[in-house]
Structure 1
Amino acid sequence: MSRPRTRRLALTAAVITTGVSLTACGDSSKDGANTPTASASSTTAPKGVVTTETAKRLVDAYEKVNNQANKTRNAKLLSTVESGQLHELSKAEYKEWLSWSAKDQKEYGTAFYYRQRKYLIPPADKATWFAVKATSTYDAKYQTLLIFDKVGSIYKMVFSAYTEGKLPEVSLDRDGHATVADASTKVGTLAPDQLGAAYEDFFETGGKKKGTAFAPTESSKESTKIYQDRNSVNGRWADKTFFAADPTFTKAYALKLTSGDVLAVFPTAHTSEQILKPAYRSSFLITPADEEAVYNAQRRVVVTDEFQGQALAELSTAKKARVLGIRYRMVDSR
């Protein structure tokens, strides 16, 4: 599982060199009591994607296996309960663990549990997936929306999208099932499955083009700052540029809210390219930062980093989309 603290919201500090670096350059039994239940007034109420009890067992199993896998960074073990965009981030964390501080390494191996769970289960004829609203013992100030989808014949967690503060309330039908929204239908100017490509404009232009479709939030402001500070370290010798990329997994998920708005979980991705200016290419090289060196420690003229991400947003027909939380992980450096 990718922790909320692992959001990449800072520039990678690669260093340019001429052979010498230049200094200028658990216990999950305490579920919430607000789990929706089927209407007692009807014996023909539609079935949910899974029962609440099955959803609870799946989350419990995920906690157990994830905690075991995190201790030894066992991606194969983790893949038995995790897939999709979330697993891309988790595999990257396992690779980059060696570049972390001793404190972060120890914390990562500490068992975590999901508390205050609310199971959001759509009708079986409307979706293949279900969601869980919860808090994590990693940091209770974050609320998270977990998405479990069927991968082959097995349910696995495919998203774990965090936000600070409270998540908006999901609309339930009269049978207590979560109401699904179509991820390809526009809500205002964007559909849930269009959010990732539009959001990457914050890295490409500072949000001056497609980014204008979003209302300012903490996430968008931090992403804009990455764009603004892209050349603050090595700008004298090199230029850094961001490019939108295709997420490894493209499926988005959406739920209707009691307000009439839509809550969307979506994948996103970009690459960054740091290249020496022509005047310095014959005598300078870029030394990769610690996380980059995990993938390629060789000093080079161009450093290209690939980032995969996942995010949570609220869409409305009356106002601009709001990104409530977004996280990235470097998954390659070349």
Structure 2
Amino acid sequence: MPQAARARRLRRLTVLALGVTTALTLSACAAGDDRDGADTPTPSASPSTAPRGLLTKAEAKKAVDNYEKINNRANANQDVKLLGSVEAGQIYEQSSADFEQWETWSEKEQKHYESAFFYRDREYLIPAVDSGASWFAVKAHTSAAPKAGSALVVFDKVDGAYKVVMTVYSDEALPEIAVDEHGYVTPADPSQKVGGLAPDALSKSYEDFFETGGKTAGKTFAETKSSKGSIEVFKGGVDKDLRGYATEKFFAKEPAHPKVYALRLKNGGAVALFPTAHTSEMILKPRYMSGFDITPGPKEAVYDGSRRDVVTDEFEGQALAVLSPKAKPQVTGIEYALVDSR
């Protein structure tokens, strides 16, 4: 998993044959952290009458401990196969891309990524076995970024083992997650609306911030640090030195791993971790296509180093949203990673 005390930054340096450069930056946060803190509430009913959890707290702790150990080893050696034994889904798409782009990173970035991290202040969010869920979550902080907000880390059953499939840090305090009298959380149906949107409609709606600057999304979502950052990316467009030569547009696309994870909140709403993705297309203006080419930046060149009239980049993302029955949904954490360029 990418550590994000270092917010992942996607920086593209695109160079025209005549020496013009441009930079596009998307900011994001991931992370990893330390030890147990808050416990899952103790079931009040007797063992004979209480329902069983998907797994016990001890089993959940073991899964998290194992993830820390294996992830730290994989990060230190950029071992994508080893990482795949404990990661899957959107976060594995991003981590794999980090390893692919390793040589483009600064020595300081590499050193930070290789350093061990641990989850602390863990709160295990375990559903009942009869909920139908195949996953559990952990709310935690990270030793790698002590000042970062809480993260929700989702472990899903993949190939017979619990693997981390999503991790998103929230810019704002998370509302209280609903817990029943037995200490179990309740998964929310991703297809069921909470207020104006269902969790599985979040990605398509949110990507409008990149496609149009939020003409629709700005009315659908409450303003947050994440949404303002996405609008800034849209408005930033091509670097000023290239604006006379090229244009850039974003297009929503289906995420590589479309599964959405959602939990009921105590206030009747839901918190959702959802995958999201888009393509960016930088293209020379027609009058320059016969005489100029775009030279891809270092990270883009990992996938395709050829000079071309059009540079198409693929970004895979993951995000956290809070949905309320009586208010607009809030996206309080989002990150993207460049995973391909052509």
TM-score above 0.5, yes or no = yes
The equivalent position to 1:89 in structure 2, one of 69, 86, 94, is: 94
Q: Residue 22 of structure 1 corresponds to which residue in structure 2?
A: 20
CA RMSD of aligned residues (A): 1.8
Q: Residue 325 of structure 1 corresponds to which residue in structure 2?
A: 333
Note if 1:144 corresponds to 2:162.
Answer: no
Note if 1:133 corresponds to 2:139.
Answer: yes
**Partner Cα separation in structure 1 for residue 328 and residue 22 of structure 2:** 41
The equivalent position to 1:251 in structure 2, one of 241, 259, 266, is: 259
**Cα offset, 1:195, TM superposition:** 0.5
SS at match of 1:295: coil
**Partner Cα separation in structure 1 for residue 235 and residue 100 of structure 2:** 28
Q: Residue 62 of structure 1 corresponds to which residue in structure 2?
A: 67
Q: What letter matches 1:253 in structure 2?
A: Y
**Partner Cα separation in structure 2 for residue 83 and residue 11 of structure 1:** 25
**Cα offset, 1:8, TM superposition:** 5.6
**Partner Cα separation in structure 2 for residue 289 and residue 207 of structure 1:** 28
**Cα offset, 1:99, TM superposition:** 0.8
Which deviations, in whole Å up to 9, do the C-alpha atoms of 1:49-101 show, x marking residues without a partner? 11100000000000000000001111100000111111001101111121111
For normalisation by structure 1, the TM-score amounts to: 0.94
* Identity across the alignment (%): 50
Q: What letter matches 1:218 in structure 2?
A: K
**Partner Cα separation in structure 2 for residue 197 and residue 2 of structure 1:** 25
**Cα offset, 1:290, TM superposition:** 1.5
Q: Residue 127 of structure 2 corresponds to which residue in structure 1?
A: 122
**Cα offset, 1:257, TM superposition:** 1.0
**Cα offset, 1:11, TM superposition:** 6.0
Which deviations, in whole Å up to 9, do the C-alpha atoms of 1:191-237 show, x marking residues without a partner? 11110111110000001124421011000000000000112332110
Deviates more, 1:210-219 or 1:324-333: 210-219
1:41-80 equivalent positions in 2, closer than 5 A? 41=46, 43-80=48-85
Q: Residue 204 of structure 1 corresponds to which residue in structure 2?
A: 211
**Partner Cα separation in structure 2 for residue 28 and residue 308 of structure 1:** 23
Q: Residue 116 of structure 2 corresponds to which residue in structure 1?
A: 111
**Partner Cα separation in structure 2 for residue 3 and residue 101 of structure 1:** 15
SS at match of 2:251: strand
SS at match of 1:39: coil
Distance 1:139 1:29, change over 3 A: closer
SS at match of 2:336: strand
**Cα offset, 1:37, TM superposition:** 2.1
Which deviations, in whole Å up to 9, do the C-alpha atoms of 1:172-207 show, x marking residues without a partner? 001000121111101111111110111110000001
The equivalent position to 1:307 in structure 2, one of 287, 312, 315, is: 315
**Cα offset, 1:30, TM superposition:** 3.6
Does the 8 Å contact 1:9/1:222 carry over to 2? no
Does the 8 Å contact 2:34/2:121 carry over to 1? no
Q: Residue 26 of structure 2 corresponds to which residue in structure 1?
A: none
For normalisation by structure 2, the TM-score amounts to: 0.92
**Cα offset, 1:165, TM superposition:** 4.2
Q: What letter matches 2:20 in structure 1?
A: L
Does the 8 Å contact 2:34/2:119 carry over to 1? no
Does the 8 Å contact 2:33/2:141 carry over to 1? no
SS at match of 2:55: coil
Deviates more, 1:170-179 or 1:202-211: 202-211
**Partner Cα separation in structure 2 for residue 318 and residue 50 of structure 1:** 34
**Partner Cα separation in structure 1 for residue 293 and residue 287 of structure 2:** 12
SS at match of 1:141: coil
**Partner Cα separation in structure 2 for residue 153 and residue 57 of structure 1:** 15
Distance 1:42 1:152, change over 3 A: same
How many residues were matched structurally?
331
Distance 1:28 1:231, change over 3 A: closer
Does the 8 Å contact 2:209/2:234 carry over to 1? yes
Deviates more, 1:216-225 or 1:9-18: 9-18
Note if 1:224 corresponds to 2:222.
Answer: no
Does the 8 Å contact 1:97/1:105 carry over to 2? yes
SS at match of 1:12: strand
**Cα offset, 1:129, TM superposition:** 0.6
Question: What stretches of structure 2 of length at least 5 have no aligned partner?
Answer: 24-31
Q: Residue 12 of structure 1 corresponds to which residue in structure 2?
A: 12
Question: What stretches of structure 1 of length at least 5 have no aligned partner?
Answer: none
